[in-house]
């Protein structure tokens, strides 16, 4: 089944605002629960977006598996620390995945706060189908 989602310009504007407001933020994007790119901040080219989508989807899959294995509840954030950057992933209230790349000199506590704040407030700008997809029972 193919879903057709119409995203508001507000999502793009809010991703741009996040990158503009947090000086250490380099890019931001939102993925659907099944890994489709829903929106990016300005200046993110298609190749970078596709690479981040693949990495984010893989990390989310690993984190969800670890959560099930350890029975410690759902995944809220994933943080990858690299030599010159951080990649933060956070699940939104509607089930989408927010991915934000920050410079290595970012204050982790401030970054975690900004990512969590965006993730908790972004559901107004995401398609309603995300809400129902997350709440539907899993099939085996």
pLDDT in tens, 1-41: 344 344 557 888 989 999 999 999 999 999 988 888 989 99
Domains and CATH numbers, the chain: 9-98+109-133 (3.30.450.30)
The pLDDT of residue 136 is: 40
The pLDDT of residue 66 is: 87
The pLDDT of residue 121 is: 80
List, in order, residues 6 or more apart from 38 with CB less than 8 Å away: 5, 7, 11, 29, 30, 31, 32, 96, 126, 127
Q: How wide is the angle at C-alpha 38 spanned by C-alphas 77 and 99, nearest 5°? A: 25
The pLDDT of residue 127 is: 61
Structure token digits, residue 137? 């029972």
DSSP H helical ranges for 5-137? 9-21, 46-70, 108-121, 128-135
Q: How wide is the angle at C-alpha 56 spanned by C-alphas 119 and 72, nearest 5°? A: 70
What is the average pLDDT across 54-81? 87
d(CA 92, CA 116): 8
pLDDT in tens, 86-135: 999 998 877 888 999 999 999 989 888 988 888 888 766 676 554 444 44
The pLDDT of residue 54 is: 92
């Amino acid at each position: 089944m193919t879903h057709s989602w119409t995203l508001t310009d507000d999502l793009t504007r809010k991703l741009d605002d996040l990158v503009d407001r947090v000086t250490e933020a380099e890019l931001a994007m939102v993925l659907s629960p099944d890994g489709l790119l829903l929106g990016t901040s300005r200046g993110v080219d298609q190749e970078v977006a596709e690479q981040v989508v693949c990495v984010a989807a893989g990390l989310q899959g690993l984190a969800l598996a670890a959560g099930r294995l350890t029975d410690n509840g759902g995944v809220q954030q994933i943080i990858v620390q690299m030599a010159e950057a951080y990649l933060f992933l956070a699940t939104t209230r509607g089930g989408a995945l927010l991915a934000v790349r920050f410079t290595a000199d970012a204050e982790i506590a401030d970054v975690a706060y900004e990512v969590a704040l965006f993730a908790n407030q972004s559901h107004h700008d995401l398609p309603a189908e995300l809400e129902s997809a997350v709440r539907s029972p899993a099939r085996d």
